[in-house]
């Protein structure tokens, strides 16, 4: 069982790519059992303190472990920025040394830094992700001379959740957030929030084709496939009849309604849980 955690529904962009990725050794990623947990009752995380984000994320991780996950992906950028390191370095070694928790930052950063020509990178994220400097730190670790420009975009998540993807108001706000990054002539842009890929066509239009904007879901899915190949000791079993179980800490009806729009497929197993 593989756990996918997000503060809410945005992480479905990651799950969607995972379920679509074509090959992984002999088995497709589609052939594993997944449990998706959205902490909708406490979302959004993006404007919360580090202490709160760490506490919520740890509760989510404990829940997913109690449901037999041996590997968890923190699809949430805010949780990856504010909680992952402490979970990996302090919590797991003491309490669950045989289990693994991964985030979305490292794969995205590697995707950018492997292009030698990219010297100027923009990061668009929630306020907490930007203030944590987690992307900036990882990028600098791999390529100290990069020029990095960060922009918090706190209004985008609510607009996307309202389904306002093609409204002129959203286009106007998006342009305002992207303008400083465009002025800095970034060559690559990291979408450091689960929701922003829904605005990818609009973002590409504003930034133009000259800017490399990787799709986070695709990058994370590929990196998960690699990880599973390199870590047979996790002994995750591929199966002929894989299951995807959905859990939310809030109302299941609203979760299903918006979730099916995000995932573009029917979501049948939805359970309300308490963390």
Q: Which of 229, 3, 212 is nearest to 108 (CA)?
A: 212
**Closer residue to ligand DGL in complex, CB, 105/181:** 105
List 105, 121, 193, 258, catalytic entry = 193
- Asked if 258 touches ligand DGL (CB under 6 A), the answer is no
Confirm or deny that 125 is annotated as ligand binding. Answer: no
Q: Which residues in the 40-69 window bind ligand DGL by CB under 6 A? A: 43-46
Query: For residues 190 and 115, what is the distance between their CA atoms, to the nearest angstrom?
Result: 14
CB of 44 to ligand DGL, least distance (A): 3
Among 3, 8, 197, 217, which residue sits at the site for ligand DGL (rule: CB under 6 A)? Answer: 8
Q: Over the Cα atoms of the chain, what is R_g? A: 18
- Asked if 157 touches ligand DGL (CB under 6 A), the answer is yes
Confirm or deny that 133 is annotated as ligand binding. Answer: no
Question: How many alpha carbons fall within 13 Å on the CB side of residue 169?
Answer: 8
Q: Which residues in the 73-132 window bind ligand DGL by CB under 6 A? A: 76-78, 126, 129
| Whether 193 is catalytic | yes
Q: Tokens 């997913």 label which residue?
A: 64
Residue nearest to ligand DGL according to CB distances in the complex:
46
Angle at CA of residue 45, ends 44 and 48, nearest 5°: 115
Confirm or deny that 77 is annotated as ligand binding. Answer: yes
123 three-state secondary structure:
strand
Query: For residues 258 and 246, what is the distance between their CA atoms, to the nearest angstrom?
Result: 13
Q: Are 252 and 9 in contact (CB under 8 A)?
A: no
- Asked if 255 touches ligand DGL (CB under 6 A), the answer is no
Q: Which of 107, 111, 98 is nearest to 80 (CA)?
A: 107
**Closer residue to ligand DGL in complex, CB, 6/138:** 6
| Whether 76 is catalytic | yes
3-state secondary structure 148-167: EEEEECCCHHHHHHCCCCCC
Give the annotated binding-site residues.
6-7, 45-46, 77-78, 194-195
Residues tagged active-site: 76, 193
* Residues of the shown chain interacting with ligand DGL in the complex, contacts defined by CB under 6 A: 6-8, 10, 43-46, 76-78, 126, 129, 157, 193-195
Give the annotated binding-site residues for substrate.
6-7, 45-46, 77-78, 194-195
């Amino acid at each position: 069982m593989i756990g996918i955690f997000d503060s809410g529904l945005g992480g479905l962009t990651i799950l969607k790519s995972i379920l679509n990725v074509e090959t992984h050794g002999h088995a497709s990623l589609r052939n594993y059992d997944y449990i998706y947990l959205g902490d909708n009752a406490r979302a959004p995380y993006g404007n919360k303190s580090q202490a709160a984000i760490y506490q919520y994320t740890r509760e989510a991780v404990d829940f997913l472990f109690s449901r037999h996950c041996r590997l968890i992906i923190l699809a949430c950028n805010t949780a990856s920025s504010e909680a992952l390191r402490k979970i990996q370095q302090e919590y797991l070694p003491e309490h669950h040394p045989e289990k693994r928790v991964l985030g979305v930052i490292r794969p995205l950063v590697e995707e950018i830094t492997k292009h030698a020509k990219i010297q100027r990178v923009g990061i668009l994220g929630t306020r907490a992700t930007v203030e944590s400097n987690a992307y900036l730190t990882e990028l600098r670790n791999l390529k100290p001379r990069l020029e990095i420009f960060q922009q918090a975009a706190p209004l985008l998540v609510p607009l996307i959740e309202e389904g306002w993807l093609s409204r002129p108001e959203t286009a106007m706000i998006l342009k305002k957030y992207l303008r400083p990054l465009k002025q800095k002539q970034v060559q690559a842009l990291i979408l450091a929030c689960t929701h922003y890929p829904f605005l990818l066509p609009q973002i590409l239009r504003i930034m133009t084709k000259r800017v490399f904007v990787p799709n986070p879901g695709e990058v994370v899915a590929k990196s998960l496939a690699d990880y599973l190949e390199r870590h047979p000791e996790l002994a995750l079993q591929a199966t002929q009849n894989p299951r995807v179980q959905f859990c939310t800490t809030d109302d299941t009806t609203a979760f299903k309604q918006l979730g099916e729009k995000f995932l573009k497929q029917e979501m049948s197993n939805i359970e309300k849980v308490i963390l």
